[in-house]
Structure 1
Amino acid sequence: MRTAEPERSRSPRVLGAPHPLLAPHLARRHTGFVERTRPRHLVIPASATVSVVVKLRDSAHRPDAFVAGPHHAYLQPEGECAASYVEVRLGPLAGYTLLGVPLNALRGRTVDLRDLLGADARPLAERLREARTWPRRFEILDELLLARLDGGPRPSPEVVRVLQLIAATGGAARIGRLAREVGWSHKHLITRFTQQVGLTPKAAARLARFDRVLRRLERPGAPGWERIAAEAGYADQSHLVREFRAFTGGTPTAYAHRR
Structure 2
Amino acid sequence: MTDGDRRGVLYPVRLPTFHREPAPPDLAGLVRWFWIPEWDLGAGRTSRQEVLAFPASNLVVQPAGITLSGPTTTRSHRDLTGRGWAVGALLRPAAVASLTTDPRSVRDREIDVEARGLLDLVRAAMTEGDPVTRRQRATEGYAAWIAEHIDPPDPDGALANDMEDLVAADRSVTRVEHVARHLGVSVRGVQRLARRYVGVTPHAMIRRYRLQETAQRLREDPAVTVGAVAVEMGYSDQAHLCADFRSVLGFTPTTYRRRTRGDDAGE
Into which bin does the TM-score normalised by the smaller protein fall? Answer: 0.7 to 0.9
Residue 120 of structure 1 corresponds to which residue in structure 2?
117
**Contact 1:171–1:205 (Cα < 8 Å) also in 2:** no
Structure 1 ranges of 4+ moved more than 6 A: none
Number of aligned pairs?
Answer: 247
Instruction: Work out whether 1:55 is the aligned partner of 2:47.
Output: no
CA deviation vs aligned residue, 1:31-79 (integer Å, no higher than 9, x gap): 22221121234433242133343335xxxxxx533232211222356xx
Distance 2:7 2:227 in 1: 21
Residue 100 of structure 2 corresponds to which residue in structure 1?
101
Pairwise CA distance, 1:175: 1.6
Pairwise CA distance, 1:206: 0.8
Q: CA RMSD in A?
A: 3.4
Residue 21 of structure 1 corresponds to which residue in structure 2?
25
Residue 144 of structure 1 corresponds to which residue in structure 2?
142
Instruction: Work out whether 1:205 is the aligned partner of 2:206.
Output: yes
Pairwise CA distance, 1:233: 2.4
Residue 264 of structure 2 corresponds to which residue in structure 1?
none
**Contact 1:55–1:82 (Cα < 8 Å) also in 2:** no
**Contact 1:48–1:70 (Cα < 8 Å) also in 2:** yes
Pairwise CA distance, 1:221: 5.8
Normalising by structure 2, we get a TM-score of: 0.73
Q: What stretches of structure 2 of length at least 5 have no aligned partner?
A: 262-267
Pairwise CA distance, 1:9: 6.3
**Structure showing greater relative contact order (alpha-carbon pairs closer than 8 Å, 6 or more residues apart):** 1
CA deviation vs aligned residue, 1:176-217 (integer Å, no higher than 9, x gap): 343354443322321222211232211111122223423533
Identity %: 22
SS at match of 2:86: strand
**Contact 1:46–1:247 (Cα < 8 Å) also in 2:** no
Residue 59 of structure 1 corresponds to which residue in structure 2?
none
Normalising by structure 1, we get a TM-score of: 0.75
**Contact 1:53–1:86 (Cα < 8 Å) also in 2:** yes
Q: What stretches of structure 1 of length at least 5 have no aligned partner?
A: 57-62
